[in-house]
Amino acid sequence: MQKLLSSLGPVCAIIGAQWGDEGKGKVIDLLAEHFDVVARACGGANAGHTIVVNGKKHVFHLLPSGALHPHATVVIGGGLVLHLPTLLEEIRTLREAGIDVLPRLFISEEAHILFEFHKAIDGMLEEQRAAKRGKGIGTTRRGIGPAYMDKAARLGIRMGSLAGDLTAELSLRADMVKRMYGVEVKQAEELQHLSEARALLAGRVVDTVGLLHRLLGEGKMLLIEGAQATLLDLDHGTYPFVTSSSTTAAGALQGLGLPPRCLTSCIGVAKAYCTRVGEGEFLTEVQGPTGDRLRERGGEYGATTGRPRRCGWLHLPDLQRAAQINGYTHWNITKLDVLDEEETIPVGIGVTPEGRLKEEKLPGWKQSTEGITSFEKLPRAAQHYLSFIEKHTGVPVSLIGTGQERGAMIIRG
C-alpha cells in the first residue's frame, strides 16, 4: 500500500470508466484511510456507492464514501445537486451505525438544492420521451436533469441561501414550474424539507473552495470521489443516454474549484466486464444465460433504483478513450471474481466499417479468485487477462477487486 500511496501523491481522483457502478465506493473507502479529506464532486442522489465492511452494507448517495472513516474531513462540492431529505437520511443512518459525520462535514454554498418538483419534472420528461421516441433515457428519476436545467438556466436555488427564508423565492419558482411543465409544486412540503435541513446543517454550509485550498496549502491529502462515469458524461458519453453533469476528472475539478495542475493521480475504475442501467447503446451486451450468469454472480441490481443491470463484456476502445479523457495513471479493475466460471472471456476490440463488433476471445480460468490479495496467487489466465488490459490501454492495473468486502483487493506496487 505504501508504494501505491506514494505513486498517487497528495491529490487523487477516482473516476469511473464505463456506465457507472464500477465499484468506485469500495476503492474510495479502502484508500480513504490514508487520506485526510474526501470530497464528492458532482452529480446527485442518482449515485449509489456500496461498501461492505465485515458483512455490513453501507450505501452512499450524496455523502462521499470515505465518510465511514472517522478521521476524514468530508466535503460536498459545488458541482452537486442536493436532495436535502436524502442527505439528512444518510447522516442519520450513519449516526445509527455509530458514525457522526456532521462535525466534520462541509457543504459548498455553490451546490444546488434539488427539490421534489425536480423529480416530478424528471418523471414527466421521461414519459414524454417514451411517448415520442418509444423509450425514455431510463433516468433514475431522482430529478437530476431538471435540477441541472435550472442551474444552467440560472433559476436554481443554492445551498448558500438555505439559511434565509426561501418562501417568496419558492413561490415564484412554483408559478414558473406550473406554467412551463404543468407540475404543481407542493410548497408546504418543500418548505418543511428546507426548514429541517436548515436546522440540522446550520454552520455546515461554507466556502468549500477556500477550505480545500487552505487544506491543500497545509499539506493535507485529498481523495476526490467521482460519481457516474465517463460514458455517462454529458459531453463525452453516449448522448443523449447520459446524465446531466460532467463526470470526468476535469468535471470533478470544476465541481470542487480546483486547478488541473493540482491532480497528482487519477484512478480509472472499470469492471472486469461491463454493465449499464437505463437505455442506450451497449455494443458488447450479452443476453440470455451468459448475461443472466454475470448479473447473478455480480449482484448486478442498481444500488439506487434496484433495476437489473444490463451485462456484457469489456469494450477496449471505451477504456482507451476513458484513459485519454481522464488521464488515468492507474487502473482499478473490479469484480474479477465474477468471471471465475467463464470458459472464455470475449473482449470487444473495435467495430468494422460495416458497424459489426470485433472481438477477441481470451481464456477463462475456471477457478475461484475470491478474496485473493496477491497478484502472484491469481491463476495464470487471470494475470494474462489483466495484462491484456494494461497493454492495450497503456495504464498499469494497480488495484484488482476480488470480492465485495473491503479487504478483497489486490494492491500492486
Among 21, 29, 90, 233, binds ligand GDP (CB under 6 A): 21
93/181 Cα distance (integer angstroms)? 35
Residues 6 or more apart whose Cβ sits within 8 Å of residue 199: none
Separation of first and last alpha carbons in the chain: 7
Q: What is the footprint of ligand GDP within residues 286-305 (CB under 6 A)? A: 299, 303
Question: How far apart are CB 61 and ligand IMO at their closest, in Å?
Answer: 8
207/211 Cα distance (integer angstroms)? 6
Q: What is the DSSP string of 137-191?
A: ----SSSHHHHHHHHHTT---BGGGTTS--HHHHHHHHHHHHHHH-PPP-HHHHH
Q: Which set of grid coordinates corresponds to residue 252?
A: 470533478
Q: Which does 401 bind (CB under 5 to 8 A by kind): ligand IMO, ligand GDP, Mg ion, none?
A: ligand GDP
303 is a site residue for Mg ion (CB under 5 A): yes
Residue in the shown chain whose Cβ atom is closest to Mg ion = 21
249 is a site residue for Mg ion (CB under 5 A): no
Among 25, 64, 156, 312, binds ligand GDP (CB under 6 A): 25
State which amino acid sits at residue 280. G
Task: With beta carbons less than 8 A apart as the criterion, state whether 8 and 45 touch.
Answer: no
Catalytic-residue membership of 58: no
16 is a site residue for ligand GDP (CB under 6 A): yes
Sign of CA dihedral 391, 407, 30, 89: positive
156 is a site residue for ligand GDP (CB under 6 A): no
24 is a site residue for ligand GDP (CB under 6 A): yes
248 is a site residue for ligand GDP (CB under 6 A): no
| List of residues contacting ligand IMO (CB under 6 A) | 16, 19-21, 46-49, 137-140, 142, 144-145, 227-229, 232, 241, 243-244, 277-278
185/411 Cα distance (integer angstroms)? 50
Q: Which set of grid coordinates corresponds to residue 32?
A: 480513504
50 is a site residue for ligand GDP (CB under 6 A): yes
The single-letter DSSP state of residue 204 is T
Nearest CB to Mg ion, comparing residues 14 and 258: 14
Kindly report the number of other CB atoms within 10 A of residue 408's CB atom.
22
Partners of residue 223 on adjacent β-strands: 12, 38
Question: How far apart are CB 281 and ligand GDP at their closest, in Å?
Answer: 20
Strand, coil or helix: 69: coil
Question: How far apart are CB 229 and ligand GDP at their closest, in Å?
Answer: 7
29 is a site residue for Mg ion (CB under 5 A): no
226 is a site residue for Mg ion (CB under 5 A): no
Cα 122 from chain centroid (whole Å): 20
Residues touching ligand GDP, count (CB under 6 A): 23
- Choosing from 29, 49, 58, 236, which is the catalytic residue? 49
Pick the piece of the chain touching Mg ion (CB under 5 A) from 46-54, 171-179, 262-270, 342-350: 46-54
Q: Which set of grid coordinates corresponds to residue 154?
A: 440560472
224/361 Cα distance (integer angstroms)? 35
Catalytic-residue membership of 36: no
Question: How far apart are CB 3 and ligand GDP at their closest, in Å?
Answer: 21
- CA angle, 11 as apex, 38 and 266 as ends, to 5°? 100
Question: How far apart are CB 23 and Mg ion at their closest, in Å?
Answer: 8
Q: Which does 278 bind (CB under 5 to 8 A by kind): ligand GDP, Mg ion, ligand IMO, none?
A: ligand IMO
State which amino acid sits at residue 274. C
Phi-psi category of 141—alpha, beta or left, where left has phi over 0 and alpha has psi -120 to 50?
Answer: left
Among 48, 291, 298, 346, binds Mg ion (CB under 5 A): 48
Residues touching Mg ion, count (CB under 5 A): 3
Q: Which does 110 bind (CB under 5 to 8 A by kind): Mg ion, ligand GDP, ligand IMO, none?
A: none
- Provide the annotated active-site residues: 21, 49
Residues that bind ligand GDP (CB under 6 A): 16, 20-26, 48-50, 52, 299, 303, 334-335, 337-338, 401-404, 408
